[in-house]
Structure 1
Amino acid sequence: MSANTTSAPFSRAVVRAMKRLYPQALSDSSWDNTGLLLEPPFIPSRRQSNVILLTIDLTRAVAEEAISLNSSIIVAYHPIIFRGLKSLTLANSQQETLLRLASHGISVYSPHTAIDAAKGGLGDWLADIVTGTKTTFGPIAGGDVESSPERVQKQLKRKDSDDPFTDKQLRPPVYTLHNHPSQTHIRVSKTTSPTQSTTPHSRRPIVPQSPEIEGHPGAGMGRIVTFEHPQPLPALLDRIGKGLNNPKGFPIAIPQGSTISDISISSVGICAGSGGTLLSDLSVDLLFTGEMSHHEALAAIEKGQVVISLFHSNSERGFLSEVLMGQLEDAVTEEWGKVRGEEEGGDGEGVSEAYEEVDFEVHVSEVDRDPYGIVVLREE
């Protein structure tokens, strides 16, 4: 990079904030690809707004959303680049997305397993849900955002009317397709008390971080929660449903010959995303994850374990608005102040306006969603 070529000043502040919150050293570098994945040069004449867009997956729709917001940077939990690229062409949809973002001056940063491992990160967010630690949330304050059930029903009605596979003249449809709504419509309420009292428990990483990173004690992949007293499985299902903003449903596997009401849980193994490998050898009562294969789940219930699977990215998406959004608002405020103080006036002509803009916004994608939805059958 030449002396006169650099990335957008605000994007650099966001990258510094993310690296401080979730150091790359916490990630599993043996297979993961974290960090700054796309860094287009800063062109003052087309300066982006100080807008951060948070998403789990960086799809074409999310890229268009970032462009419409005039974002400076996308923080995409899942890396859009996993393996080495031999070319960048429009023939590949992911490469097309990267090229399009670069042409608009939008950077891309991916934290992935660094967030999984960090204390207070995704593993602890899921542990908070299953232990009842997570607080109540509701619609964003201000505006005319409808309550979640009403909004979802209207969305479902609109989907029905647009569905080409239903014969509207003969009879009403007997199903609806439900995608878990974007978490941007819910925010943690700072004025309400927890949904229920935290259940007494201990927790620890499945694989502790080694060596431990200064300033990030207790980090590591996955979490094991051990309750002081056994918990009825229906109570855990209730906590999970409430903690995930009441999804229409999620898969559960229980040992053959058992019923949900008869099962008590003393210990839980937790892994966001795909947990089959990390959870496979644990001696716990419940495996709580986003995704597990048929044979992995079958092996678990043969051992007497219960498996709860949330669909891969639905085990991760709520973390963006409930945790990461607020963390970035604080960390970027500090880092942007430092960048402005250190670099103002030092990057050549035509860039002073970039340093003068103090305010910024953090958005959570409204179009990001898990590729899987749930078809809910109706009574005829």
Structure 2
Amino acid sequence: MASPISSSSPFTRSVVESMRKIYPEALADKSFDNTGLLLEAPFDPSRRQKNSVLLAIDLTTAVADEAIKRRDSAIVAYHPIIFRGLKAITLDDTQQRSLLRLVQHGISVYSPHTAVDTVPGGMADWLCDVVTGTFQPVATQTHPASQSCNSKLYSVPTYPQAQAVPTGASADASQQIPHTRSTIHPSPAASIPEGFESAGAGRLVTFNEDQPLTTLIDHIGRGVGLPGGIPIAIPQSQSIDNIRIRTVGMCPGSGSGVLMRGNEIPDLLFTGEMSHHETLAATERGSVVISLAHSNSERGYLRAVMQTQLLQELSRQWKSDRESALQALHDSAKQGGSALSSCAEIYQDGGVEVSVSEADRDPYGIMVWRG
């Protein structure tokens, strides 16, 4: 009788270890979040996956289909697909169906979520780079949901997708508007690993000189992938061209809980979404709000930062893990053990691939008025 499979693939374990080094799980907000290895698919050496990882914001059916077709070993899904306790896992629920299918195909799922938000150089700092003009993509484009639209008034929906950037272009200090930046709500000191001292929720940019709001809007449009429209709320007594900004508060996703605490709020609140009443409260206090639809404030980070960071760390981690395992196999063979370990084949493969999902997008597209 064959021994039961009791672990994920060696490559998947290297992926998990690499993610934990870049985005320490201790930095996640465990008061509500669910981060880490959420789905551990058993390793089947007779049908192993490629040494590849697929990055996405949301693990939808389309993203699961993409990973299965590509034969990835793991999906890194920024948002946790398992958020609360499950009392059953069935095919009736579409998200649970995706998880069952992924297990069937040997694909594990890791979700870093708020660890990415809070880490120095993470998603909140990337939004700082976007708004200050540091981040300059090579090109941007919008993707239609279909090839035609019968509406006489509106175009097909389009979805912003940031493109790859040249090495170093996401942090070119010579292009940025002079500013200082700080963490709005620092992480508890006890939870911060060594080397991550500036971790915390949200970032505050303070420009050396007031900036035209229109300049910052142009930066945001280019940085997130030229969305068909940018939802913006301004005080009713002001006009876009006359507003100047000294401070900008950044928070990916739903940012009001981070940006609206305290008696004073930034001149501009830049986030993924805020409620109607929270936005009214901000504008009544004289601030501007830009909200992009939740995940449009997050997705560009995958191509601009995470893809390169994970590829570099995973390449180092997999090289180290392979060398240790191959040496152990060699020593075992010298002592008369079998060199034909079930994991031997995967350790012969030194390749590493990290890709960004083509299927992943925000649920909301923008249909532009043809008039």
1:355 aligned to 2:347?
yes
In 2: Cα distance, 1:216 partner to 1:192 partner? 23
* Contact 1:230 1:265 (8 Å CA) reproduced: yes
Query: Any stretches of 5+ residues in structure 2 without a counterpart?
Result: 333-338
Report how far residue 348 of structure 1 moved.
7.3
Structure 2 residue aligned with 1:189: 166
1:201 aligned to 2:206?
no
In 1: Cα distance, 2:31 partner to 2:103 partner? 27
Q: Deviations over 1:227-273 (max 9, x none)?
A: 11111111111111111222211100000121011111110111000
Structure 2 residue aligned with 1:307: 289
Report how far residue 196 of structure 1 moved.
7.2
For residue 260 of structure 1, the aligned residue among 218, 240, 243 is 240
Q: Deviations over 1:25-82 (max 9, x none)?
A: 0100000000000001111011011110000000000000000000000000000000
Structure 1 residue aligned with 2:81: 80
Structure 2 residue aligned with 1:179: 158
Structure 1 residue aligned with 2:213: 233
In 2: Cα distance, 1:64 partner to 1:236 partner? 37
Report how far residue 3 of structure 1 moved.
8.4
SS across alignment from 1:52: strand
* Contact 1:117 1:221 (8 Å CA) reproduced: yes
* Contact 1:180 1:373 (8 Å CA) reproduced: yes
Runs of 4+ in 1 over 4 A off after TM superposition: 191-196
Report how far residue 4 of structure 1 moved.
5.6
In 2: Cα distance, 1:41 partner to 1:14 partner? 15
In 1: Cα distance, 2:364 partner to 2:132 partner? 27
Structure 1 residue aligned with 2:70: 69
1:159 aligned to 2:136?
no
- Relative to 1, partners in 2 of residues 1:208 and 1:75: Cα closer, same or farther, differing over 3 Å? same
* Contact 2:252 2:271 (8 Å CA) reproduced: yes
SS across alignment from 1:231: strand
* Contact 1:77 1:110 (8 Å CA) reproduced: yes
Structure 2 residue aligned with 1:220: 200
Q: Deviations over 1:348-378 (max 9, x none)?
A: 7332111111012111000100000111011
Q: Which moved more, 1:286-295 or 1:241-250?
A: 241-250
For residue 284 of structure 1, the aligned residue among 252, 260, 266 is 266
Report how far residue 178 of structure 1 moved.
3.0
Report how far residue 181 of structure 1 moved.
3.8
* Contact 1:182 1:365 (8 Å CA) reproduced: no
Q: Scaled by the length of structure 1, what TM-score is found? A: 0.89
* Contact 1:227 1:267 (8 Å CA) reproduced: yes
> 2:310 is matched by which residue type in structure 1?
L
SS across alignment from 1:368: coil
SS across alignment from 1:177: coil
In 1: Cα distance, 2:89 partner to 2:175 partner? 52
* Contact 1:188 1:322 (8 Å CA) reproduced: yes
Q: Deviations over 1:87-145 (max 9, x none)?
A: 1110111111110100001000000000000010000000011111113423xxxxxxx
> 2:125 is matched by which residue type in structure 1?
D
Structure 2 residue aligned with 1:144: none
Report how far residue 217 of structure 1 moved.
2.2
In 1: Cα distance, 2:198 partner to 2:186 partner? 7
Report how far residue 182 of structure 1 moved.
3.5
Report how far residue 200 of structure 1 moved.
1.2
In 1: Cα distance, 2:219 partner to 2:166 partner? 17
Q: Which moved more, 1:339-348 or 1:84-93?
A: 339-348
- Relative to 1, partners in 2 of residues 1:94 and 1:4: Cα closer, same or farther, differing over 3 Å? closer
In 1: Cα distance, 2:169 partner to 2:233 partner? 34
Structure 1 residue aligned with 2:127: 126
* Contact 2:35 2:112 (8 Å CA) reproduced: yes
1:364 aligned to 2:343?
no
SS across alignment from 2:216: helix
- Please give the residue correspondences for 1:42-61 in structure 2 after superposition, counting only pairs within 5 Å: 42-61=43-62
* Contact 2:160 2:226 (8 Å CA) reproduced: no
> 1:300 is matched by which residue type in structure 2?
A
In 2: Cα distance, 1:60 partner to 1:243 partner? 27
> 1:98 is matched by which residue type in structure 2?
L
> 1:41 is matched by which residue type in structure 2?
P
Q: Which moved more, 1:209-218 or 1:191-200?
A: 191-200
1:41 aligned to 2:21?
no
Query: Any stretches of 5+ residues in structure 1 without a counterpart?
Result: 139-147, 167-172
* Contact 1:38 1:109 (8 Å CA) reproduced: yes
For residue 323 of structure 1, the aligned residue among 305, 311, 318 is 305
Report how far residue 192 of structure 1 moved.
6.6
SS across alignment from 2:96: helix
SS across alignment from 1:242: helix
